[in-house]
Structure 1
Amino acid sequence: MKTIANCVQEIIASSPFLEEGLSREIINFSALAKDLNAPISKMLRKPVKDGAIMMALRRHQLPRHLENSEQLRSVFKNLGDITVRSNLSDFTYHNSNTLIRSHSQILESVSANRQIFYAFTRGMLESNIIISSSEKDRILKAFKDETQIGFQDKLSAISIYLPKGNSKITGLYYQIFKRLAWVNVTLYEVVSTTNEFTIVVEDHLVDKAFSVIKRLKG
């Protein structure tokens, strides 16, 4: 049987900004309880009292990753270089039996020129290539027999070098995504390796995104 506490937990878990506000103790419990009364009453199919909701809010245990743990602070303090690359294009193709063969042609030119930005991701149904826009004609030629389902240019990438052991830190990526979302930065793509994290945004958002990433270091 669902309870008021269950409803509160479900609503907060689906609202990252609400979760953040509660963790920072900047939200008035009484006002929030009144705001949640209608959706909780609908979920329980019966009227509930604001006081009961407020009690559930006070007892709600926030996820540990929302806390400014020593581990998170240490990781952000020890972030490595932040690199920005502009003039990028994004190509998306349906996976096929010949896609890797087409892709191998691009690898030859990329390996010969380290100035070219390049990232390749293969999913279950489609594959994505982010590459310097100077290589657009080469991509179109190499993949001319493939089915292209997406294209976007005027993109920039911000790469962050993370300290070793970052994969063991709970909430690391959450903190990065949260801060970008607070300033309305839309992520076009995300690419990561063990110790390197790259976000791809449209050119008009790169300055705002860079400022957020830079402030992570404190």
Structure 2
Amino acid sequence: MKTVSSFVEHYLKTKPFLLGSLSEGIINLTSLARIMMPEVEKQLGKDIKQGAVVMSLKRLTEELDFKINHRISKVIRNIGEITVRSSLNDYTYMLSDTLLSKQAELISTINLRKDVFYTSSRGVNEINIVLSDTMDSVMEELFKAEKQIQKINDLSSITIKLPHENVNVPGVYYYIFQRLAWEGIVLYEVISTSNEFTFLVSEQQVDIAFRVIKDLKNV
């Protein structure tokens, strides 16, 4: 049986930024309830008092905010080292029979250069390589026979060390990416392991992105 509370809960969960805005107190519950009224009555098939929707919004906002943000904030406050690197290039190639052997040659070369940043991820049809721009000529020579899908220059990376319990807490990445999105940060790549992740932004936005991540530790 559908109830006002069940519909309101579903409504909030399907609006990615709405719950966060509600928890910050920047959305008027009465105004939101007024907007929701036609859809609530349509779904429930009967007339509903606006006050019932307001009460459901108030209760669910408090409950969902606690369930989600209380556990997340404990993880976020324990963020470890934040490492920033600049002057990076992002290469994307179509997968081929020869590409992995070329990548192996690249890694052998990089092993001799401790100052070089390198990371890679492989998808179903393509592979992505992020590399210090000092290796650009080496990269272009090694991969000249491969089909390049995209190349982006002048990027910076921010690597975040997360506490081990992050893998058991839903919403940690969403919380971080939400804050970055609110600041208009464009993420070119996101590469993660169990307890850390790296994202790439333009060098023009790296200072803002770093400030966002640093401020998260004060939630």
Above 0.5 in TM-score? Answer: yes
CA gap of 1:214–1:59, structure 2 versus 1, over 3 A, is closer
Find out whether 1:29 has 2:16 as its counterpart.
Answer: no
Indicate conservation of the 8 Å contact 1:23/1:67, yes or no: no
- The alpha carbon displacement at 1:33 in A equals 1.5
Which residue, out of 66, 84, 92, partners 2:68? 66
Please give the TM-score of this superposition, normalised by the length of structure 2: 0.84
Indicate conservation of the 8 Å contact 1:23/1:66, yes or no: no
| Greater Cα offset, 23-32 or 181-190 | 23-32
Matching residue of 2:54: 54
CA gap of 1:43–1:134, structure 2 versus 1, over 3 A, is farther
Q: Following the alignment from structure 1 to structure 2, what is the Cα–Cα distance between the partners of residues 145 and 185?
A: 34
Among all aligned residue pairs of Structure 1 and Structure 2, give the percentage whose two residues are the same amino acid.
39
Indicate conservation of the 8 Å contact 1:8/1:56, yes or no: yes
Matching residue of 1:103: 103
- The alpha carbon displacement at 1:55 in A equals 4.7
Find out whether 1:154 has 2:182 as its counterpart.
Answer: no
**1:7-26 equivalence runs, <5 A:** 7-26=7-26
- The alpha carbon displacement at 1:46 in A equals 7.3
Indicate conservation of the 8 Å contact 2:159/2:199, yes or no: yes
Matching residue of 1:167: 167
1:23-43 deviation digits (Å, cap 9, x = unpaired):
3344221100122345x2797
Please give the TM-score of this superposition, normalised by the length of structure 1: 0.84
| Greater Cα offset, 6-15 or 177-186 | 6-15
- The alpha carbon displacement at 1:45 in A equals 10
CA gap of 1:57–1:72, structure 2 versus 1, over 3 A, is closer
- The alpha carbon displacement at 1:117 in A equals 0.8
- The alpha carbon displacement at 1:100 in A equals 0.5
Matching residue of 1:85: 85
User: Can you give the 5+ residue segments of structure 1 that lack an aligned partner in the other structure?
Assistant: none
Indicate conservation of the 8 Å contact 1:65/1:171, yes or no: no
Q: Which amino acid aligns with 1:198?
A: T
User: Can you give the 5+ residue segments of structure 2 that lack an aligned partner in the other structure?
Assistant: none
Q: Which amino acid aligns with 2:192?
A: S
Q: Following the alignment from structure 1 to structure 2, what is the Cα–Cα distance between the partners of residues 63 and 76?
A: 15
SS at match of 1:160: strand
Matching residue of 2:200: 200
SS at match of 1:139: helix
CA gap of 1:183–1:48, structure 2 versus 1, over 3 A, is farther
Q: Following the alignment from structure 2 to structure 1, what is the Cα–Cα distance between the partners of residues 70 and 113?
A: 42
Find out whether 1:141 has 2:121 as its counterpart.
Answer: no
Q: Following the alignment from structure 1 to structure 2, what is the Cα–Cα distance between the partners of residues 27 and 153?
A: 40
